[in-house]
Amino acid sequence: MIGVKVQDLVKKFGDMVALKTISLTIEPGELFFLLGPSGCGKTTLLRSLAGFYLPESGKILFGDEDVSRLEPHKRNTGMMFQSYALWPHKTVAQNVAFGLEQQNVSKAEIERRTMEALDSVQMGQYAERKPNALSGGQQQRVALARALVIRPRCLLLDEPLSNLDAKLRLEMRTEIRRICKEYKLTTIYVTHDQKEALSIADRMAVLKDGNILQVGTPLDVYKRPMSRFVASFIGETNFIEGKVVRSDAGTALVKTERGEFSGVMVPGYEVKDGQTAYLSMRPECIKIEDIKPEDNYLEGKIEDVIYYGEVAHYVFKSGDFRLKISELNPKYLTHSKDKTVYAYIHPEDLVVLKD
Ligand code: ATP
């Protein structure tokens, strides 16, 4: 197992700066996600790690080795891209064995390792089939076996599940995590699907316009986003603008048009007294109450309810504000739209953002 370090990496395409001095440390054996909207630089970073792009400046280290200028085939990375293109005229086993045939490996060893890789993705029994006789998910597994068979120093995955339907994506994402952990692989996984990242990442980086905004565990980034951009990119949220009355020891009191609210600040991104601040409230953190809470609430009415079975989404209206609120096992489905209710949020669940 090796760790991967990116130090002050800059990558330009002509005048366009795709990566703006990026630094990142990925621990050995970590399943690390690069996440962000289209064009933020995820693929450019992954391709720089693979060696397809040479950076203008900065370094990439695999363990202690500086690989910044090393050719792609000497980096020994396993890759799986969106278009995982298996060779249609080769069998599954031949597709997987190909990477090993390029190396100096004996025939017996090639056979053994090919079958081992196919078994690990549960495709051993399909070894002699041609790819066009496999489902999309099965082809994806073969592509993964092909990346694994060379025993890569790290595995680079670029939107590996984007060609699959929703059900298969769910199945394959836990499968990918299982395999990465079983092989003890340092894996860097690019996606724009936040659910994919939240559900299986050890840690993730959120990128925007060629910069890394925040790095953390799924829980850190979801619960303590550093900006409105991160809060709304990773999950859904509501924002209310206000002015900071008092901030101190990680918490802040903010005055808004709809009353005062206490919340938590994110270390490193604290607001100061008198500043404009934005309250971020996740829909599932807001509780609708019939009885007026002591503090941290908005008074209003339920304007609309959308029922999904296990969960209901409410639209709560308070003055000019509308909040999205979601509730498991919903209790206000038959609620009168005229009745006054209270939307309460615990201060621990309310994040005060400065940007
Ligand atoms: P997506 O989610 O759409 O794949 P991404 O985050 O992977 O996006 P990149 O492909 O890394 O984004 O692109 C980052 C920026 O660099 C974009 O503005 C893109 O247009 C530009 N870019 C990428 N590759 C090239 C290239 N070969 N030549 C010129 N510009 C490029």
Indicate if the pLDDT at residue 164 is higher than 80: no
Interatomic CA distance for residues 230 and 233, integer angstroms = 5
- The residue whose CA has the least distance to atom 18 of ligand 1 is 39
Using pLDDT thresholds of 50, 70 and 90, give the confidence band for residue 14. very high
pLDDT tier for residue 344 given thresholds of 50, 70 and 90: very high
208 lines ligand 1 (CB under 6 A): no
Q: Indicate the range of 145-159, 202-216, 242-256 predicted with least confidence.
A: 145-159
pTM over 0.95: no
Nearest to 266 by CA among 205, 355, 353: 353
Query: pLDDT at residue 87 above 80?
Result: yes
**Which residue has a Cα nearest atom 24 of ligand 1?**
44
Would you say residue 135 has pLDDT above 90?
A: no
Residue 168: which pLDDT band, with cuts at 50, 70 and 90?
confident
The domain locations on the chain are: 4-228, 237-353
CB burial string 48-75: b at 16+ within 10 A, e below: bbbbebebeebebbbeeeebbeeeeeeb
Q: How far apart (Å, rounded) are the C-alpha atoms in residues 339 and 300? A: 8
* pLDDT above 90: residue 227: yes
> Over the Cα atoms of the chain, what is R_g?
24
3-state percent helix, strand, coil for the chain, nearest multiple of 5: 30, 35, 35
What's the whole-number average pLDDT of the chain? 92
Give the tokens for residue 125.
Answer: 């029994």
Q: Is the CB of 308 under 6 A from ligand 1?
A: no
Q: Whose CA is nearest to atom 26 of ligand 1?
A: 13
Mean pLDDT of 49-58: 95
Ligand 1: residue of 16, 157, 161, 194 to mutate (most ligand atoms within 8 A of CB) is: 16
In Å, how far are 12, 29, 204 from 47, measured between CA atoms?
Answer: 13, 20, 17
What average pLDDT does this structure show over 57-80? 92
Integer Cα distance of 19 and 22 in angstroms: 6
Q: What is the mean pLDDT of residues 297-312?
A: 92
Ligand 1: residue whose CA is nearest its atom 25 = 13
What does the pLDDT read at residue 83? 64
pLDDT at 98 over 80: yes
Distance set, CA 194 to CA 67, 176, 245 (Å): 30, 16, 34
> Within 13 Å, how many C-alpha atoms sit on residue 76's CB side?
15
Q: Is the pLDDT of residue 104 over 90?
A: no
* Res. 136: pLDDT tops 90: no
Ligand 1 atom closest to the Cα of residue 53 is 27
Do residues 261 and 350 make contact, with C-beta atoms less than 8 angstroms apart? yes
Q: Is the CB of 18 under 6 A from ligand 1?
A: yes
Residue 144 has pLDDT above 80, yes or no: yes
Q: Quote the pLDDT of residue 84.
A: 64
258 ligand 1 Cβ < 6 A: no
Average pLDDT of 300-310? Answer: 91
* pLDDT value of residue 102: 80
Taking domain 237-353, whether its CATH number is 2.40.50.100 is answered by yes
* CATH code for the domain defined by 4-228: 3.40.50.300
Task: Tell how far the Cα of 18 is from the centroid of ligand 1, in angstroms.
Answer: 7
273 pLDDT tier (thresholds 50, 70, 90): very high
pLDDT tens readout for residues 210-222: 999 999 999 999 9
Segment holding 283, helix H or strand E: none
167 alpha carbon – ligand 1 mean position (Å): 29
Any ligand 1 atom below 6 A from CB of 40: yes
| Spatial distance between the Cα atoms of 87 and 174, rounded to a whole number of angstroms | 26
List Cβ neighbours of 23 (8 Å cut-off, separation of 6 or more): 6, 7, 8, 9, 212
CB neighbour class for 125 (10 Å; exposed up to 12, middle 13-18, buried from 19): exposed
